[in-house]
A and B are shown apart, each in its own frame.
Chain A
């Protein structure tokens, strides 16, 4: 594999060489007068002195990095959400987790659940509950847990999964397409870690349940409807 990492360094060195050569050839021909030189240096220093104040004043979109406690709190909320979904205690779930809700009339005796692109995108966990009510309706509720990456809480920037009804019996879930998020971190630190740096974050242990992915789709189907899926079903008591 070709290592192209050296190219920017060579590019910078080339520019430096050109500038030095240019300045040297100029300085031989025309000696800069001391007075304009001093004014130039003073103006540059004055601009630099004002630069931090401008940075402070300028409005900018800024996302706070979570503390260990903040991150733990959100993780605990995720755990509570999962437990509530699996224990059928949806009434206790905070409304902000619910991002979509729909109802569909369903007169069939069986339903096929299909994943459109199981190996792509972020996993959608489907939880099926049976309803005691003798109606002919399927209810779908899409929940999104607190999504934290690199200690940044990303509440509403992920793409949503798509639900498509292929026919009267087959419901397909399409995993959301990838989304790229870019952030800028500015720092006065000269090196990566900084001097005397005590790690501001402890290592977060990811528990087994946290592999779930950001979405849960809770389907409530009539009691007498059979559920089939190519991906297999896990039955929880």
Chain B
């Protein structure tokens, strides 16, 4: 193993220990999600008239995932903060590898997030079975459709990685200048309802997206964001030296 790899491994191990406290936030967010969504579910559908009204409550990982994605974004942004870097600087022998180890940690955290999101959903299902007398219909759980579980697990992983990449890039840009906050907010307001964003949202995320284009699109965005963030942070470190 080269010296570089050894240094990288040591950095990752050290940073994982340093950031492991952040996992508590994720767990707290997920528990909040389980409690909140156990009352109402992720969605509801009603139909029927006259003699009969049918109400179907849908429970899915979507709600817990949104809460967990917020955590992922927060962690990614906080990794780029000057305070965090300064705290870790005395322990890091190769500062240039810091961004790469951050990216690896974010990918690892995304994997952890994906497993916990998909499984915490079952904690929610257990609560419904144990504490409510609701009747189930048309359920699609892991034992009925394992393929659905695994494809969505990968989907959650890919999206959380993209969220992490976005957060990391935004955090890095804001470290260059605080003005980027205003620029990013302006860009968000200007483009959130643009035809391009609506098309991307509809094609890649809304109903029945094809998995392969969805995966390629998100991975491409994640790689681009991580790469740009890496280039920027490397230049920042050179300037610092």
Contact of A55 among B70, B129, B151 (CB under 8 A): B129
CB within 8 Å of A: which B32-61 residues: 32, 36, 40-41, 43, 45, 47-48, 50-61
Q: Name the residue on A nearest B28 (C-beta).
A: A19
Give the Cβ gap from A58 to chain B, nearest Cβ, in Å: 5
Can you name the residue of chain B whose Cβ is closest to the Cβ of A9?
Answer: B66
Flag whether A6 is at the interface (Cβ < 8 A).
Answer: no
Contact B120 A48 (CB under 8 A): yes
**Nearest chain A CB to B84 CB, angstrom units:** 13
Residues on B with beta carbons closer than 8 Å to the beta carbon of A54:
122, 126
B155 within 8 A of A: yes
In contact, B41 and A34 (Cβ under 8 angstroms): no
Q: Does B21 contact A (CB under 8 A)?
A: yes
Cβ-defined contact, B214 with A195, below 8 A = yes
CB distance from B109 to the nearest CB of A (A): 12
Is A205's CB within 8 Å of the partner chain B?
no
Contact of B51 among A40, A55, A58, A179 (CB under 8 A): A179
A116 → B minimal CB distance (Å): 14
Which residues on A sit within 8 Å (CB–CB) of B137?
62-65, 152, 183-185
User: In A78-101, which residues have CB < 8 Å from any B CB?
Assistant: none
When the two chains form their complex, are residues A16 and B67 in contact, meaning their CB atoms are under 8 A apart? yes
Chain A nearest CB: distance from B58 CB in Å?
Answer: 5
Q: Does A20 contact B (CB under 8 A)?
A: yes
Q: Is B86 an interface residue (CB 8 A)?
A: no
Structural contact, A189 and B142, CB atoms closer than 8 A: no
Q: Give CA–CA (A63, B135) in the complex, Å.
A: 7
Which of A34, A51, A65, A189 sits near B148, CB closer than 8 Å?
Answer: A189
Instruction: List which B117-148 residues lie within 8 A (CB) of chain A.
Output: 118-123, 125-126, 128-130, 132-143, 145, 148
Cα–Cα distance between A16 and B65 once the two chains are bound (Å): 14
| B28 / chain A contacts, CB cutoff of 8 Å | 19, 23
B interface residues, tally (CB under 8 Å): 75
Residues A178-237 near B (CB distance < 8 A): 178-197, 213-214
Partner of A191, one of B36, B57, B207: B207
Which residue of the partner chain, among B115, B135, B208, contacts A182 with CB atoms under 8 Å?
A: B135
Residue-wise interface mask of A (105-131) relative to B, using a CB-CB cutoff of 8 A (1 in contact, 0 not)? 000000000000000111100000000
Q: Inside 8 A of B205's CB, which chain A residues have their CB?
A: 191
Q: How far is the CA of A178 from the CA of B53 in the complex (A)?
A: 7
- Counting contact residues on chain A (CB < 8 A from B), the size range is 35 or more
Contact with B along A147-187 (1 / 0, CB 8 A): 10111101000110000000000000001111111111111
Which B residues are in CB contact (< 8 Å) with A192? 43, 206-207
Contact present for B67 and A182 (CB under 8 Å): no
Whether B25 lies near A20 (C-beta < 8 A) is: yes
Binding site for A on B (CB under 8 A): 17, 20-21, 23-25, 27-29, 32, 36, 40-41, 43, 45, 47-48, 50-62, 65, 67, 70, 74, 115-116, 118-123, 125-126, 128-130, 132-143, 145, 148-149, 151-152, 155-156, 159, 205-211, 214
A-B contacts, 24 listed (Cβ < 8 Å): A19-B29, A27-B21, A37-B21, A44-B116, A47-B123, A51-B122, A65-B137, A121-B50, A150-B47, A151-B138, A178-B52, A179-B52, A182-B55, A185-B139, A188-B118, A188-B145, A189-B140, A190-B61, A190-B159, A195-B152, A195-B214, A196-B210, A196-B211, A197-B208
